Structure 1
Amino acid sequence: MGDAQDRWRGHVAPAAGWMSSDFGVFLGLDVGKGEHHAVGVAPDGRRLHDGPLPNSEPKLRALFDKLAGHGPLLVVVDQPATIGALPVAVARACGHQVAYLPGLAMRRIADLYPGRAKTDARDA
């Protein structure tokens, strides 16, 4: 495993460790330096949020609080360290579960949809 993964082991759970019935919302974050792309989905597939999310604690808290109104929230990030550290820290401070979806898993998922362009929205 890479250094970042070793540092985060025990702090961020693997995304495959939970059942979908444990959560009311799955929030995928494609993290970026100044802005993230966030997609929140209910277990039945309804899209509850889809859009840019500034990398600021108040904006992160506001979205987490809004989505938590639909039930327990699972925040899934593609990078838990460096540029993803603030969303991870804020989610955990708000009492939400956090999972890390490794880049290799993301690439394999993308392979299921050939011909579609890579975008931040799709990554989230």
Structure 2
Amino acid sequence: MTAGCSSGRRYAVRNEEGRVSKRPGCVWCGIDGGKGHHWAAVVDETGTTVWSKKIDNDESAILTALGEILDLADEVRWAVDISGTPSALLLALLAAHGQQAVYVPGRTVNRMAGAYRGEAKTDARDAYVIAETARHRRDLATIGVPVQLAADLTLLTSHRTDLVADRVRLINRLRDVLTGIFPALERDSGRRTGNLHRPKRYSRRLRRVFYLSAQTSIIREGPNRDFYLKKRGEGLKHVQAIIALARRRASVLWALLRDNRVFTFLPPATQTA
């Protein structure tokens, strides 16, 4: 018998090629925590590993893994073997996305590992054992994330969003300065005879900035989260919805630069003939 999920049903969904595939209703994610990195393993209701990767103990890496795992099933049950400082960022990010984790003590992991002989002790194996323990047991304690920690994380992510916006403004100012000194650069800067257009060449680093800023913007209530939820409701996976949001935010920024105006929640007044 499995624990934690309301049901073990599978739902038929269509992949990008239009083929019908079986999506599990619930999966269990076990995380072997560490200071520098974590290892996460995801199992379905049969105990089969469906996802297993090393995750750097970094916000962007954790958010990327979080998105991939949430796309695996309709419900994800999380379990960790460390509830202290090494997993503080991980637990705070889970809480910010409405996810909770249970605590699997190290002694329990060691006892359960005896049932899975034949493999050497590795981070991947420990993560699998943690996931399997969470799948079978119902008596594991839920880890509560302090309200202050979640609030601090929200403040930090908001500050990071501001820094990203400052970076974008700095890049635009730098572009204007460079094209003023060397007008030939206008071929690549997106400016022709005073009009802005979307350039064919782009910065991959800047594209990643837009992706990460879109990912952090959905934590707080507002138009960014509303747009993300709308795309999820249209059937897009987490990563696809984030990319759509990043493109939308880039389009809005481009329009602001084109029209030389500042952002407002209300649409600009249209000029009547």
Equivalent in 96, 102, 105 of residue 105 of structure 2: 102
Deviation at 1:54, TM superposition (A): 0.8
Report if the CA contact (8 A) 1:37-1:52 is conserved.
yes
Amino acid at match of 1:77: V
Deviation by residue 1:66-97 (Cα, 9 ceiling, x = unmatched): 22122111221000111111111111111112
* Counterpart Cα distance in 1 of 2:35 and 2:120: 21
Amino acid at match of 1:119: T
Q: Which runs of 4+ in 1 moved over 3 A?
A: 113-116
Which one scores higher on RCO, CA 8 angstroms, separation ≥ 6? Answer: 1
* Counterpart Cα distance in 2 of 1:74 and 1:20: 11
Deviation at 1:45, TM superposition (A): 3.3
Deviation at 1:19, TM superposition (A): 4.3
Equivalent in 37, 62, 70 of residue 68 of structure 1: 70
Q: Which residue number corresponds to residue 25 of structure 1?
A: 27
Report if the CA contact (8 A) 1:25-1:68 is conserved.
no
Unpaired runs of at least 5, structure 1 = 1-15
* Counterpart Cα distance in 1 of 2:42 and 2:124: 11
Partner of 1:33: helix, strand, or coil? coil
Deviation at 1:105, TM superposition (A): 0.7
Amino acid at match of 1:56: D
Deviation by residue 1:37-67 (Cα, 9 ceiling, x = unmatched): 1111222334231121111112212222222
Partner of 1:53: helix, strand, or coil? strand
- Pick closer, same or farther for the CA change 1:43–1:115 going to 2, 3 Å: closer
Aligned length: 109
Amino acid at match of 2:47: G
Q: Which residue number corresponds to residue 86 of structure 2?
A: 83
More off after superposition, 22-31 vs 59-68? 22-31
* Counterpart Cα distance in 2 of 1:33 and 1:102: 17
Q: Which residue number corresponds to residue 120 of structure 1?
A: 123
Report if the CA contact (8 A) 2:28-2:43 is conserved.
yes
Report if the CA contact (8 A) 1:79-1:100 is conserved.
yes
Partner of 1:21: helix, strand, or coil? coil
Amino acid at match of 1:21: S
- Pick closer, same or farther for the CA change 1:17–1:117 going to 2, 3 Å: same
* Counterpart Cα distance in 2 of 1:30 and 1:44: 21
Amino acid at match of 2:69: L
The percent identity for this pair of structures is 35
Deviation at 1:121, TM superposition (A): 0.7
Q: Which residue number corresponds to residue 198 of structure 2?
A: none
Report if the CA contact (8 A) 2:5-2:75 is conserved.
no
* Counterpart Cα distance in 2 of 1:90 and 1:118: 28
Q: Kindly report the root-mean-square deviation, in angstroms, between the aligned alpha carbons of the 2 structures.
A: 2.2
User: Which structure's residues are more often helix, by fraction?
Assistant: 2
* Counterpart Cα distance in 2 of 1:83 and 1:18: 25
Deviation by residue 1:18-45 (Cα, 9 ceiling, x = unmatched): 2473762211111111111111122233
Larger radius of gyration: 2
